[in-house]
Amino acid sequence: MNVGFIGLGIMGKPMAQNLLKAGHELKVFNRSKAVVKEMVALGAKEALTHQEAAMGVDALITMLPDSPDVKNVMIGENGVYDVAKEGLLYIDMSSILPEVSQEIGEKLKEKGVDMLDAPVSGGDLGAIKGTLAIMVGGEEEAFSRALPLFQAMGSSYVLVGPLGSGNTTKLTNNMIVAGNIAILSEALMLCKKSGTDLEKVLDAIRFGSAGSAVLDTKSPKILQGDYSPGFKIDLHMKDLRNALQTGSSLGIHMPITDLALEMYQSLHDQGLGEKDHSALFHIYEEKAT
């Protein structure tokens, strides 16, 4: 397929690279031009604007930080909406509010553009390896059209329901991940303070009921004190805020999510917002000293 791709960050860049490896033609746009040059060297074409990225392509993918960014690029002033042609498939792989996905999708329908919200899980390693879990909301026909792209970027791709369902699923995913990292950090500090060998503890529990993708991918970062970002604290905070906002609109009380956000806010306030979310362990280290 001929694909436009907007947003070449920690996740977007390797996702775009995997599309190239799978044989798709790619036209890319990103505010930082250094990464665009890298992609051009690999065979992509450069789009000078986000509108240009949407011109003459079969599908357009966005991988952007938050709801306002996606909304601005797609239906804001000088947005893609102004140049979109009937038949374009639009896939937003950002993590945003479900209601914003629905708003954008309804607007794009006026131009005959089909939209899927398809946020991902798996972090930078999953993006690099092409093993992302892709959670999709939208119509079955649009999902079928998108499958060759999803197959290049992920190992799991599930159509959950109508537009907005993908982001509801992603909020669910990141609520669980936040809680999992918090209890993992707390438990490892218990072992550390008791003098128990952390690596042996992890080997002992990895294949039991406590085993998880979070344990496998985040415990090595905690043990090494390596908090280089795979998924930044600030981005996880955004997802937790979106989850709380969505829950509030539904009349749901979510105290664990609220507490996890409070803990990440503490790290952000210490200037650690750009670190990996596994840096939550730092809170327990501070309290243990």
User: Cβ distance 35 to 17 under 8 Å?
Assistant: no
Provide the residue type at 289 as one letter.
T
Q: Do residues 219 and 280 lie in contact, with contact meaning Cβ atoms separated by under 8 Å?
A: no
Residue 274 phi/psi, 5° resolution?
Answer: -90, -5
CB 148 within 8 A of CB 1: yes
Tokens describing residue 245: 């906002």
Which are the catalytic amino acids? 170
Contact 209, 117 (CB under 8 A): no
Give residues with Cβ within 8 angstroms of 45, minimum separation 6.
25, 26, 27, 28
Per DSSP, which regions of 37-99 are E strands?
45-46, 59-62, 89-92
Identify the CA nearest to 121 among candidates 98, 97, 93.
Answer: 93
CA distance 85 to 176: 39
Q: Residue 210, class by beta-carbon neighbours within 10 Å (0-12 exposed, 13-18 middle, 19+ buried)?
A: middle
Q: For residues 148 and 61, give the distance between their C-alpha atoms in angstroms, rounded to a whole number.
A: 13
Cβ count near 218 (within 10 Å): 26
Residue 8 to residue 47: CA distance in whole angstroms: 12
